[in-house]
Amino acid sequence: MQTFKYRAQASDGSTVSGVLEAYDEFEAVNELRRSYPIVEDLQPVKQRRKFNVDLNEPLWVEDKSLALVASQFSIMLKAGLPMSRVVELIAGQTSDKLMRRILTACAADVSAGYSLARSLEKNGKKIPAVFIESVRAGEESGTLEQSFDSLKVYYDRAHKVRQKVKSALTYPIIVIVLAFVVVGIVMVVLVPTMIQIFENMGSELPLATRLLIAISHFFSRYWALLLVIIAAIAIGIFAYSKTDSGKINLSKLRFKIPIIGRITQMNTAAQVANTISTLLGAGLPITRVIDVVSRVLDQRSVGVQMEKCVGKLETGKALGDVLPEVENLPDMLVEMARVGEESGSLEDTLHTIGEFYTEEAERASDRALRMIEPMITVILGVFVAFIVIAIYVPMFSMYQGVAM
């Protein structure tokens, strides 16, 4: 509910002002006109923000939380509980702080007679459009329990895929970061100490040692500049990724990266198939389904191309005819969509192919992890061998000179 400040004219011509609570401006105007024939001004009252930010509250609702909430809604609605009571109970039970805050706000709106989808749309800015649209379709068709069942399966599957992809990428990233830290410490701390010993030898140093000394001098002199450059590049990439063109171009680049590109393609295909199947099962028309899919895809470059499909579908084209124009979607997904349309079983066909690509994304993540681990080991081994040779070869020469 929102608070509005109003000024209106009463039946006797006098001007009155005050505040009232309503869901939106349209309801506020309708409420005022029951008492006053003319509404002169209506403004929402800005709420003062509290700055007691809870750093433990997540920035978005995770797939795992959405799956759990969808399961709870389905169970309680099938038990015959009224929607207002269901929202209130789930809000009190969920451990996700962001979801609890959203559902607590929704409980007041639903108790006042508003639909759950409309309330989620207002209060749940961090809830995916797939969730809200499926709830809306379920309310409109009277199959809300089935919609929540589908959402539970959908977000369970999405959570499983995301965890697999994260596990494939987290390990190499951590190892690479640690390797850079170790390199910095060796070059700035250890090597300068050894340089003083080598300079007192008075003999020509091996090529590997001279190269190591040059690298060490560079790191010692310019380490602060290097940190600034790395930070500037990271900030620049982050800022660019927030722009529309950045989201599209970085998404296209992700498909071209070896190993990661394969995982991204499989994950995107699974997301497209599973989302379309879920929304069709909720009762949405295909044009609305593709519109929602284009807005929720992780890869923005594919989402932009899906947006263009909406207009073509509205002219009467079939989904199987417009999907080939979307880049980076596997040919089998396109063909299965065409077969599903022709056989009248598009929802079931995409559900099946969605499960296939979900498993493919998991297998691709596992293969990537198995390939990356030995590559990192070899690279680190070469680096360690280089340092050992660069340091110990002149030391052996020095010991031989002393022995002679």
- Predicted confidence (pLDDT) per residue in 152-175, tens digit: 988 888 888 777 767 766 777 787
State whether 122 and 150 are in the same domain: yes
Cα 236 to Cα 117, 224, 233, 393: the distances in Å are 38, 18, 5, 43
Tell me whether residue 51 is in a domain.
no
* Confidence (pLDDT) at 89: 92
User: Is the pLDDT at 361 greater than 90, yes or no?
Assistant: no
Give yes or no for a contact between 287 and 308, defined as CB atoms under 8 angstroms apart: no
* Confidence (pLDDT) at 234: 92
User: Is the pLDDT at 249 greater than 90, yes or no?
Assistant: yes
State whether 249 and 316 are in the same domain: yes
State whether 186 and 38 are in the same domain: no
User: Which of 122, 154, 186 is at the close of a domain?
Assistant: 154
pTM of the full predicted structure?
0.70
Identify which of 325, 332, 394 has the alpha carbon closest to the alpha carbon of residue 360.
332
Higher pLDDT, 252 or 363: 252
**Confidence at 55, pLDDT banded by 50, 70, 90:** very low
The one-character DSSP state at 187 is: I
**What is the percentage of the chain residues whose pLDDT exceeds 70?**
91
Mean pLDDT is highest, among 83-87, 137-141, 393-397, for 83-87
Tell me whether residue 49 is in a domain.
no
Tell me whether residue 25 is in a domain.
yes
Tell me whether residue 55 is in a domain.
no
CA atoms of 347 and 337, how far apart (whole Å) = 9
The chain-wide mean pLDDT, for the chain, equals 82
User: What is the extent of the structural domain holding 194?
Assistant: 155-404
* Confidence (pLDDT) at 199: 65
According to DSSP, the residues that pair with 42 across neighbouring strands are 6
What single-letter amino acid sits at 266? M
**Confidence at 52, pLDDT banded by 50, 70, 90:** very low
Sheet holding 15-22, edge to edge: 15-22, 2-9, 38-44
Tell me whether residue 126 is in a domain.
yes
CA atoms of 213 and 189, how far apart (whole Å) = 12
The one-character DSSP state at 318 is: -
Residue 333, both tokens: 């997904």
State whether 362 and 389 are in the same domain: yes
**Confidence at 370, pLDDT banded by 50, 70, 90:** confident
* Confidence (pLDDT) at 58: 57
State whether 89 and 149 are in the same domain: yes
* Confidence (pLDDT) at 168: 66
Tell me whether residue 57 is in a domain.
no
- CB-based contacts of 201: which residues, under 8 Å, 6+ apart? 394, 397, 398, 401
CA atoms of 139 and 100, how far apart (whole Å) = 22
* Confidence (pLDDT) at 56: 52
State whether 99 and 176 are in the same domain: no
The one-character DSSP state at 259 is: T
State whether 253 and 187 are in the same domain: yes
* Confidence (pLDDT) at 358: 85
Structurally, how many domains does the chain consist of? 3
State whether 164 and 146 are in the same domain: no
User: Which of 104, 133, 154 is at the close of a domain?
Assistant: 154
State whether 7 and 120 are in the same domain: no
* Confidence (pLDDT) at 216: 78
State whether 230 and 109 are in the same domain: no
State whether 382 and 302 are in the same domain: yes
Give yes or no for a contact between 154 and 133, defined as CB atoms under 8 angstroms apart: no
Q: Residues 281, 134, 137, 75: is their CA dihedral positive or negative?
A: positive
User: Is the pLDDT at 57 greater than 70, yes or no?
Assistant: no
Query: Helix 346-403 to helix 331-343 angle, to the nearest 10 degrees?
Result: 170
Give yes or no for a contact between 283 and 138, defined as CB atoms under 8 angstroms apart: yes
Lowest mean pLDDT among 67-71, 218-222, 345-349, 400-404: 400-404
Residue 371, both tokens: 């390939």
State whether 114 and 168 are in the same domain: no
* Confidence (pLDDT) at 237: 92
Residue with the two structure tokens 């890869």? 299
Tell me whether residue 75 is in a domain.
yes
What CATH number did the domain enclosing 219 receive?
A: 1.20.81.30
Tell me whether residue 53 is in a domain.
no
**Confidence at 203, pLDDT banded by 50, 70, 90:** low
Average pLDDT over residues 212-241: 87
**Confidence at 6, pLDDT banded by 50, 70, 90:** confident
User: Which of 118, 134, 154 is at the close of a domain?
Assistant: 154
Identify which of 204, 180, 206, 182 has the alpha carbon closest to the alpha carbon of residue 391.
206
User: Is the pLDDT at 32 greater than 60, yes or no?
Assistant: yes
What single-letter amino acid sits at 218? F
User: Is the pLDDT at 63 greater than 90, yes or no?
Assistant: no
* Confidence (pLDDT) at 371: 80
